Structure 1
Amino acid sequence: MANAYLVGIYNKVINKEKLQKYAVDALPAMMANGGKKALARSANITQIEGIPPERAVILEFESVEAAKNAYNSEDYQAALKKLDGGADRFLFVIEGA
């Protein structure tokens, strides 16, 4: 079974304080619920093509299902409530090759 990668693209940070409160709990929640490794979490993004996001996150999981389970976990959902509109973002899971 191929690994899967949860990718978070932050187009715009609307409220930095909310993002910081969310970030304190979000990664530990993902790791406690099946996350294998944080591959990237940064606002240091080099544009190659198109409009770069303000921030991006890539987390590794054993499977798409494991990533979905971590996202839906009670721990992560509690962290997500702290974000409360503090960022314009989207998340998706992609299966590894």
Structure 2
Amino acid sequence: MSAYVIFVRKTTHDEQEMQTYAKLAGEARGDHPITPLAFYGDITTLEGDDAEGAVILSFPDIEAAKAWYYSDAYQEAKKHRNLGADYQVLLIQGV
């Protein structure tokens, strides 16, 4: 069953760290079966707090999503994301 990782960027603190994150996160994709569905496009807040941007990534299943997220390469990239911005990250199973 498909799975989705959803990133919601709330506030950016350090653009340089975010540039490093973008480079490393792209490299961390490797051979993981990731399909981007939305990538920082126009965003409208319908309810709740505003967000600067959002990303939705599709995976074949929860295990594939976790394998990518917990990979050494993505965990290294994540360090820069955490220094550069405040995010909420969700993993949700599809139907």
Task: Settle same-fold status: TM greater than 0.5.
Answer: yes
- Whole-angstrom CA distance in 2 between matches of 1:70 and 1:34: 6
Q: Which residue of 2 aligns with 1:26?
A: 25
Q: Which runs of 4+ in 1 moved over 4 A?
A: none
**Cα contact 1:43–1:54 (8 A) shared by 2:** no
Give the alignment's TM-score, normalised by structure 1: 0.85
**Cα contact 1:6–1:59 (8 A) shared by 2:** yes
| Cα gap change, 1:84 to 1:92, in 2 (>3 Å) | closer
- Whole-angstrom CA distance in 2 between matches of 1:15 and 1:9: 16
How many residue pairs get aligned? The number is 95
**Cα contact 1:25–1:79 (8 A) shared by 2:** yes
Deviation string for 1:33-88 (max 9, x for gaps)?
52331111105211222222111111111111111110111111121223342111
Q: Which residue of 2 aligns with 1:12?
A: 11
Q: Which residue of 1 aligns with 2:81?
A: 83
The percent identity for this pair of structures is 36
**Cα contact 1:7–1:91 (8 A) shared by 2:** yes
**Alpha-carbon deviation of 1:18?**
0.7
Gaps of 5+ in 2: none
Gaps of 5+ in 1: none
- What letter matches 2:45 in structure 1? Q
